[in-house]
A and B are shown apart, each in its own frame.
Chain A
Amino acid sequence: MEILSLLGQGVLLSLQPLNLLLILIGVTLGLFIGAMPGLGSVNGVAILLPITFLVPPGSAIIFLAAIYYGAMYGGAISSITLGIPGASTAVATTFDGRPLALQGKASLALVTAALASFVGGTVANVLFTLFAPVLAAVALSFGPPEIFALMLLAFATFVGLGGDDIPKTILSICLGLVLGSVGFDQISGAPRLVLFDISGFLHGINFLVLAIGVYGIGEMLWTIEQTRGEVTTTTARISVRGMLSDTRESVKRGWKGTAIGSFLGFFVGVLPAAGATPGSLMSYGVAKMVARRPEEFGKGHPGGVAAPEAANNSASTGAMLPMLTLGIPGSPTTAILLGGMVIWGLVPGPRLFVDESEFVWGLIGSFYVSNVVAVAVNLAFIPLFIWMLRMPFTILAPMIFVLSIVGGYAATRDMHDMWLIVIFGFAAFFLRKFDYPLAPAVLAIVLGPIAEPTLRQSLLLSSGDPSIFFTRPIAGPITIAALVLIFLPAIKLLRRGRGKTMADEG
């Protein structure tokens, strides 16, 4: 009951005129920041941090959290309408969101994304409110072996993602892993794979650079080639009645994905080092796995939009949990928020919940309010995004190209990355022509850099003995589950034999 009264005060605090206004501005700004390819919540929060020096700390963090929230909603928009992930957290959304848009069902995809985000956010808020201290303890019990086991599980859920051609899927994963290891070796503390001694490779290959190259440039080249330039866009229409029927369909076909994303996303988000991107990718994989007809995923299934979208919102709230309860960032964005808290004169750490109770509960209250505001703002803007889609391809294609290039630059502010995007775009086009699935490479470049150091840290801890992954109480069951998942479908696929058409995933 005490929690409810604290939460009530928090909600009231965030409904004060100044805070409500900041939430409205923050969510709307966040929506567009998230929708811009390349600009994600990290850049948005970092760029707008100085503005918050003008308002009290409680309002400042509410504003930044609203941006974070809005960006999670916004990421889906360009993933669906343009096929370019608006932020790393929305990459999985392109897998089914883009096909839906191409089938003229963009509004179904956008409505599904908005609703799933809302449910994901709400579930996360409730879990956060009720179980914050318990979950903080869980987060601490995840050391390197546990995180590695979790990453293994994430890979396992994606075994089927590449379609039936296992060698090509494995090659794609390896390609992603190699690209993910470029730059710096954290364990030995030395640079590695700095190709041709180009200093731009020192910061590694940003996940977004690959994703924008593959899905922005690569996809555009593909469309041009497929249609010989005769593309006019889909006949996307928008009406109130249409949106209502979309709502019905998205609930009917997306609820399972939403449920998976909401819970899985939150849990992965709570674990420091993981964050919303792996959370959304894993949720997509699990949703596909448990679906009645998994083969529909990747061709425009609302569940494939709902799962990652529910997960990235849920995970962004989850990532706030270690930040508020322990003073440890759960994601890159919360790392900047922590810096903000120091600037505002707060001491992040386990005492924050007690010493700054009003600040903390004001923020938690604002999550609830931001979530409602975000879904309303998002739904209100859907007609605008649909209108964008109706532009002829001859206008849209150059726009996508420019957005891809600008987005790639925004992420690291390095010309080097712009060239990489173009190179990856062409490479992706040719790989796709030869039926190589690309999603596994994208998955590998995001999970690899988390999996590799934790694997090596674990083996350092155990002096090289791999049984550490089986004997620890939390890591053990996860590792075994992952291994079972990896080998089951492989055996199934081998049994099915040849002669099946290969599923085309993009």
Chain B
Amino acid sequence: MTIERRVFLGLAAAAMLSVAPLQAVAQEWQPRKPIDFVIMAGPGGGADQIARFIQSVAEQNDMTSRPLVPNNKGGGSGAEALIALANTNDPDHTLLVTLNSFFTTPLRQENLGIDITSFTPIAMMGVDPFVLWVHKDQGISTVEEFVEAAKAADGEWVMGGTGKGQEDSIVIAFLAGAYDLRIKYIPYDGGGAVAKDLAGQQVMATVNNPAEAKGFYDSGDFVPLLAFSDERLPAYPDVPTAKEKGQDFSYYNQRAVVGPPGMSEEAAAYYRDLFTRIYETDAWQGYLQSESLSPLWMNAEEQRAYWDTQITRHRELLAAMGE
């Protein structure tokens, strides 16, 4: 026991010595314990994949003195994660990997009492566009054919998605409104399940992130019809955007890292620097490209402004859906 303690003290002293010069030079804040890397979704989904990819980049390049520890809190469309962050007793060692439920969940579940504008912006790692997909056996290759087929189905046109109020349902609601379609919407518990049931033709079309559908696109099973992005996607140069089709609409899923309310300025500065460096690695840039994410780098002030516009916009979109 005493030996262990002595060794421990020795190590601690050594650690302090080794850190001391650094602190003397930069007075920099450093995490003192593992960082709780909360994910607003369950294991295996898009947000989870991104969180674990970020973790792998930080780990491989030895970028943090304490590890990022992924912690899935997907309950209640991310409500669980938002509550965990709002109530954390260690705001300097807690981070949140978000998607758009960051905006929609507090709007749809007002009794949570979550005010996301009190959260601390850290980094916008990219935004994930949405694409309209059909199975190749449908024989549809353009949006016009899609609209025609959906109208001909007369209320029996089935589309799969991840649930009411979720990102893809917002896009599908827009689609239905813009082209005057009656769509039967079947909610699934994740983008992977949606893609699977399009591959098995249990549903007729989906609105998925490119990353979720890419495998089936490469094999020729899925046909992309329309991108809901501002510009054509580099990986899908032949797919027209909704804007080109005369619809003033684009929609992205945010892949951002956010800190809890009350995070100290020093810690926020440390994490902003950390994620800037992660963002600039070849690994992350390669990921953006291969998964068809669009870069949308913003500083902290711009992120706050972005949140405000997104809250207003989602309030309108949800209201239009009757939510």
> Which A residues lie at the B interface, using CB under 8 A?
42, 46, 49-50, 53, 139-144, 183-184, 186-191, 194, 197, 199, 202-204, 272-273, 322, 326-329, 332, 335-336, 338-340, 342-343, 347-352, 413, 453, 457, 460-461, 463
In Å, the complex CA distance between A488 and B195 comes to: 39
Also in contact, A352 and B215, with CB within 8 A (given A144-B186, A326-B199, A339-B44): yes
B166 contact from A189, A191, A204, A350, Cβ within 8 A: A189
A190 to B200, CA, bound (A): 28
Residues from chain B with Cβ under 8 Å of A204 in the complex: 75
| Residues of B contacting A272 in the complex (Cβ-Cβ under 8 angstroms) | 192-193, 196
Does A326 contact B215, Cβ atoms closer than 8 Å? yes
Is the C-beta of B230 less than 8 angstroms from some C-beta in chain A? no
With A143-B202, A202-B75, A203-B75 as contacts: A336 and B219 at CB distance below 8 Å: no
Residue of A46, A187, A194, A343 touching B187 (CB-CB under 8 A): A187
Asked if B189 and A199 make an inter-chain contact with CB atoms under 8 angstroms apart, the answer reads no
B73 and A460: CB pair below 8 A?
no
Query: Which of the residues B45, B71, B158, B164 comes within 8 Å of A413, measured between beta carbons?
Result: B71
Measured CB to CB, the nearest residue on chain B to A350 is B219
A46, A53, A352 — most chain B CB neighbours (10 Å)? A46
Tell me, in angstroms, the Cα distance from A419 to B216 when the chains sit together: 44
Question: Contact between A189 and B188 (Cβ–Cβ < 8 Å)?
Answer: no
A199 touches B48 (CB 8 A): no
Task: Answer whether A332 and B108 are a contact pair too, CB < 8 Å, given A203-B76, A349-B215.
Answer: no
Cross-chain pairs A/B with CB under 8 angstroms, 12 sampled: A140-B201, A144-B202, A186-B187, A187-B163, A202-B83, A272-B196, A335-B43, A340-B52, A343-B52, A347-B215, A347-B218, A347-B290
Q: B55 and A50: CB pair below 8 A?
A: yes
User: B192's closest neighbor in chain A, by CB?
Assistant: A328
A460 to chain B: which residues have CB within 8 Å? 184-186
Whether A332 pairs with B44 at a CB distance below 8 angstroms is yes
Contact A53 B56 (CB under 8 A): yes
Contact of B53 (CB < 8 Å), options: A202, A327, A342, A463? A342
In the complex the two chains form, is A188's CB within 8 Å of B164's CB?
yes
Distance between B60 CB and nearest chain A CB, rounded to angstroms: 5
Within 8 A of A (CB), among B23-61: 43-45, 48-49, 52-53, 55-56, 59-60
Residues of A within 8 A of B67 (CB): 50
A348 surroundings in chain B (CB, below 8 A)? 215
A429 CB → nearest B CB, Å: 28
Q: Are B221 and A183 in contact (CB under 8 A)?
A: no
| Interchain CB contact under 8 A, B216 and A184 | no
Q: What is the CA–CA distance of A339 and B190 in the complex, to the nearest angstrom?
A: 14
Closest A-chain residue to B323, C-beta based? A189
Residues of A within 8 A of B77 (CB): 184, 189
List of B residues within 8 angstroms of A49 by Cβ: 52, 56
Q: Provided the pairs A186-B189, A189-B165, A203-B73 are in contact, do residues A143 and B219 lie with their beta carbons within 8 angstroms?
A: no
Given contacts A328-B199, A347-B214, 14 further A-B contacts (CB under 8 A): A42-B43, A50-B56, A144-B202, A186-B163, A326-B199, A328-B193, A335-B192, A336-B43, A339-B52, A349-B219, A350-B216, A350-B218, A460-B185, A460-B186
> When the two chains form their complex, are residues B80 and A202 in contact, meaning their CB atoms are under 8 A apart?
yes
Q: Residues of B contacting A191 with CB < 8 Å? A: 76, 79, 109
* Given known A-B contacts A335-B44, A339-B52, A351-B218, A328 and B195 have beta carbons under 8 A apart: yes
Output the residue of B55, B74, B169, B200 with the most chain A CB within 10 A: B200
Neighbouring B residues of A197 by C-beta, 8 Å: 111
How far is B228's CA from A473's CA once the two chains are assembled, in angstroms?
37
* A272 CA / B197 CA spacing, docked (Å): 10
In the bound assembly, the distance between CA atoms of A140 and B74 in angstroms comes to 26
- Given known contacts A202-B76, A351-B215, is B164 in contact with A189 (CB within 8 Å)? yes
Residues of chain B contacted by A194 (CB below 8 angstroms):
76
Cβ-neighbour of A326 out of B165, B196, B290 (below 8 A): B196
Q: How far is the CB of A220 from chain B (nearest CB, A)?
A: 29
Q: Is the CB of A328 within 8 A of B196?
A: yes
B147-193 CB contacts (< 8 Å) to partner A = 158, 163-166, 169, 184-189, 192-193
Known: A46-B70, A328-B192, A342-B53. A140 touches B200 (CB 8 A): yes
Q: Is the CB of B80 within 8 A of A332?
A: no
Q: Contact at B218–A143, with CB atoms within 8 Å?
A: no
| Shortest Cβ distance from residue A164 to the other chain B in the assembled complex, whole angstroms | 37
Contact A203 B80 (CB under 8 A): yes
Q: Complex formed: what's the CA distance from A342 to B46 in Å?
A: 11
Contacts of B73 in A (CB 8 A): 203
Q: Which residues of A have CB within 8 Å of B195?
A: 328
Which residues of chain B are near A461, meaning CB under 8 Å?
Answer: 158, 184, 186
Residue contact B74 to A203, C-beta cutoff 8 Å: yes
